[in-house]
Structure 1
Amino acid sequence: MPQEFVPDDNKSEPPNDDSAASEQDILMLTIVGSPKAVRKTILTLYRLGFAEVNDWSQLQRTGNPKQVMSVLIRRKVSTDDTAPRQ
């Protein structure tokens, strides 16, 4: 199992575009569970002001017939890479 996380020198790495990384941070959140649990979590995150319900993807099937998943992709334009203001 630990070998799965060791880099393979024979595989090429994706190009590193530092200019794009400095301009924009991308965060992808995935919720996996029963349809009821996923919907409830999305609603809870909405009530907390985290994301609009319509920002999440439609429920998608997983390899487990009793589970679904939904994805949220957040893009935040970054002006500075310093620590958060206090």
Structure 2
Amino acid sequence: RPNDDSAAVCEQEVVLLTVVGSPKGVRETILTLYRLGFAEVGDWSPPQRAANPKQAISVLIRRSRANGTPPRESER
């Protein structure tokens, strides 16, 4: 079954979440989402300077299978 891995990747739903705001606001939002069990802090990209120099941006990419279940570790 050589194409099992590629088929699993094709069946994944990918959602990109972006947080933009003051550096403090971005950190606080990521920590709040962590406390709510939404995502690990380390799953987010390191904050980067946004187009507005007073703002930061951080991105989270969530993957799940097309049926809504999270992918196995080997599929990430």
TM-score, normalised to structure 2, is: 0.73
Query: Higher Cα Rg: structure 1 or 2?
Result: 1
1:76 and 2:70 aligned: no
- Matched residue SS, 2:16: strand
TM-score, normalised to structure 1, is: 0.65
1:46 and 2:34 aligned: yes
Counterpart of 2:11 in structure 1: which amino acid?
E
Following TM superposition, by how much is the alpha carbon of 1:79 offset from its aligned partner in structure 2, in angstroms?
3.5
Unaligned ranges ≥5, structure 2: 1-6, 69-76
**What is the distance in 2 between the residues matched to 1:79 and 1:65?**
40
Matched residues, number: 62
- Matched residue SS, 1:76: strand
**What is the distance in 2 between the residues matched to 1:54 and 1:79?**
25
- Matched residue SS, 2:62: strand
Unaligned ranges ≥5, structure 1: 1-18, 81-86
Following TM superposition, by how much is the alpha carbon of 1:72 offset from its aligned partner in structure 2, in angstroms?
0.1
Counting aligned pairs with the same residue, the percent is: 65
**What is the distance in 1 between the residues matched to 2:29 and 2:67?**
31
